[in-house]
Structure 1
């Protein structure tokens, strides 16, 4: 396996792992639990999933593919947001399919191409690595809220699986 194949396999594997773990956590919850806010300053699982979706569409759709940016970051964190578990699972499937398929279609030379992110040039490789880190951080928050909601009935999602 050459280095470019290894890089793409690692990125795709990480995105698949995040997607699958998100779904394992959400599948244990009901609609009210995915919209539960531990305190006034905290986000709900729904906020976090909608935020991840918005970030994928902006970083990949706008940044890599050049689509028009239609993201409304403020709405992602609205305290009035209520989304059903099934809708969240659907959003995860669609946004991660877009992310994974976009990553698979990239060529090695694309990884060094620069795009602008928050006014600064970043390589596509840097953007994809940052996405993996960002979504992993929110995954941790989502699983923690899940554990708060479920207590001892929470089933772990952390059984190790090789990602590449």
Structure 2
């Protein structure tokens, strides 16, 4: 079952990275509305969240005292290298820590902000959080690229063609 979680996390990571790769540098820090987030902010937030939640996952609360969540949303110009580093660090912690678990660990209890959750519940919650933010990244990247956008899913009007060869359904590795 843990391999299913890891596969889904990898799918969302890859989806986000494909969208981010299409994003022009000048759009990385674009904030679309008041109190909204840029792609750079979302990348920092996802990376910070994953690093916090999964560092010493079974032994410590998932909201680490060293995490400064509010700084993940500071409005300033971030370089692509900066946000790539935050993003990669979070995903690395997740893959290492969740990859070290066994299916029997899914029933164990962990804590996030003092709230007890089973490992299974914590992974479901985290995966939903990641999916939401990756969706935001995709939408922002899609908007910023305009006509240059290369679809990350089945193109409109191409469902029948895709169903003959469903390449997007392969598990990422």
Tell me which interval the TM-score lies in, with the shorter structure as reference length: 0.7 to 0.9
The answer to whether the Cα contact below 8 Å between 2:19 and 2:138 also exists between their aligned partners in 1 is yes
The answer to whether the Cα contact below 8 Å between 2:56 and 2:97 also exists between their aligned partners in 1 is no
1:72 offset after TM fit, Å?
Answer: 0.6
What is the aligned residue count?
Answer: 157
Verify: 1:109 aligned to 2:117, yes or no. Answer: no
Indicate the larger mover: 150-159 or 52-61: 150-159
What's the TM-score, normalizing by structure 2?
A: 0.82
Verify: 1:161 aligned to 2:159, yes or no. Answer: no
Verify: 1:77 aligned to 2:73, yes or no. Answer: yes
The answer to whether the Cα contact below 8 Å between 2:12 and 2:130 also exists between their aligned partners in 1 is yes
Verify: 1:92 aligned to 2:92, yes or no. Answer: no
1:78 offset after TM fit, Å?
Answer: 1.3
1:152 offset after TM fit, Å?
Answer: 1.7
In 2: Cα distance, 1:141 partner to 1:133 partner: 13
* CA RMSD across the alignment: 1.9
SS in structure 2 at match of 1:156: coil
The match for 1:34 is 28
Max Rg structure:
2
Deviations 1:77-120 (A, max 9, x none): 1123x222233233323321221121111022221111221232
In 2: Cα distance, 1:98 partner to 1:65 partner: 14
1:17 offset after TM fit, Å?
Answer: 0.9
Indicate the larger mover: 52-61 or 109-118: 109-118
The answer to whether the Cα contact below 8 Å between 1:19 and 1:92 also exists between their aligned partners in 2 is no
Deviations 1:3-38 (A, max 9, x none): xxxx11211111111111111111112332111101
Task: Give unpaired runs (5+ residues) of structure 1.
Answer: 1-6
The answer to whether the Cα contact below 8 Å between 2:60 and 2:111 also exists between their aligned partners in 1 is no
Query: Which of these residues, 49, 63, 68, is aligned with residue 43 of structure 2?
Result: 49
Verify: 1:131 aligned to 2:126, yes or no. Answer: yes
